[in-house]
Amino acid sequence: MNLDYLGQQCPKILKQRCWAHKTRNILDKVRKRDWEIVKKTLRRIPYAKNRREATKAYWAFADKWRSHYPNAVKCLETDIEDLLTFFHIKEDRLWSKIRTTNAIERAFREVRRRTRPIGVFTNRESVERIVFAVFHYLNVNWENNPLNEFTHKD
């Protein structure tokens, strides 16, 4: 779904960009020999204890690397607000689960696992049935076995 469309339909929903993907995008703009040190300074941002510390870590990262890797800093700069959205969630124990798209990607991995052996589908409806079945199964499983952190139950 187009995020602009989602923003128009649900304007109060906060958008969270994935730190794992953003980190990869940033490292693509850095010489391999500097990956470890850049990654180390970059990780201080999402692993900060609060948004204020994350913002300080962002500025430290930008100041340190802007002259060496301006494109890497620009890559981070364009999405920094959407990358820090998870700090709006009061329960910091959830941060590790929502600052990346790992849960979503696991679902798509399951779709690939089920569809790859088939190879060729006879029509669009046949692939849609399989995709629906996989997501339906995951939804039912999630409903029956929710992560306690994501429920309102005590």
58, with CB counted inside 10 A (0-12, 13-18, 19+), is buried
Question: How does pLDDT run across 115-135, given as a tens digit for each residue?
Answer: 888 888 889 898 888 888 888
Distance set, CA 143 to CA 33, 111, 137, 148 (Å): 45, 19, 10, 11
| Statement: residue 83 has pLDDT above 80 | yes
| Statement: residue 57 has pLDDT above 70 | yes
Provide the strand spans (E) within the chain.
none
Q: Running DSSP on this structure, what letter comes out for residue 145? A: S
pLDDT band for 101, please (50, 70, 90 cuts).
confident
Q: Which of 38, 2, 6 is nearest to 23 (CA)?
A: 38
Q: Considering the chain, what is the average pLDDT of its residues?
A: 85
Can you tell me the mean pLDDT for 26-55? Answer: 96
Distance CA 135, CA 150 (A): 19
What pLDDT, on a 0 to 100 scale, did the predictor assign at position 90? Answer: 81
